[in-house]
Amino acid sequence: MNKKVEVRYLGKKDYKETWDYQEELFKKTLDLKIKNRRENSAIPTENYFLFVEHPHVYTLGKSGDIENLLISEKELEEKNASFYKINRGGDITYHGPGQIVGYPILDLDNFFTDIHKYLRLLEETIIQTLAEYGFKAERSEGETGVWLDVGTPFARKICAMGVRASRWVTMHGFALNVNTDLGYFDNIIPCGIKGKAVTSLNVELGKEEIDLKEVEEKILKHFKILFKAEIEISKK
């Protein structure tokens, strides 16, 4: 089992370009798994973790409702935002500047074959990261992602999640609001959940801006421990 995870920092990158890149890595891993099975071989599959920051974009998961996008195509253009229907789970969400988006493309055969455990550990990675900033972040029953003040009238989501998996290979991932312009969430019903607020780390800390690199390092630290992974930073 190959527990090495290659971390690639993509910087600021268009959503569609990144989606295509994910699909390329995803297909490469799937093809190798199929080849191994067909030829009774055991060539190790690779694991990746992509960090990226997208321009303004709304994405709708395969089980999502287009009615949760509250603005027209013309208004999208006016806000310099794009929209895509995509192949992850979950409903509608927003990605944009100041948000840390993480896409682990893992062969879970290298770790554990349990998609629910995978999602719980991804959530736990964010929960433990936020604990370093003094917050008690939690899961909210029946609602994906990571939340603050669960069970109170002030519950608010700080991290959205949606994944796809095939033959135990994952793609898509999480979006943690750090310095995000929360006004863009007013144009959707985030994740299809009505009446719940969205927040960001800088708002919660009362700071103008948080160092994204610092938060990414904390995420990786907890991911490494929880997944018992070996982290390798890509030179590419």
Give the residue ranges of the annotated binding site for substrate: 88-95, 160-162, 173-175
Enzyme catalytic residues: 191
Burial of 30 (0-12, 13-18, 19+ CB in 10 A): middle
> Residue 106 contacts by C-beta under 8 Å, 6 or more apart in sequence?
5, 47, 48, 49, 118, 169, 170, 227
In angstroms, the Cα distances linking 227 to 1, 34, 160, 219 are: 13, 24, 20, 12
| φ/ψ (deg, to 5) at 152 | -120, 165
Residue type, 172: H
How many alpha carbons lie under 13 Å from residue 83 in its C-beta half-sphere?
19
Neighbours of 205 (CB within 10 A): 13
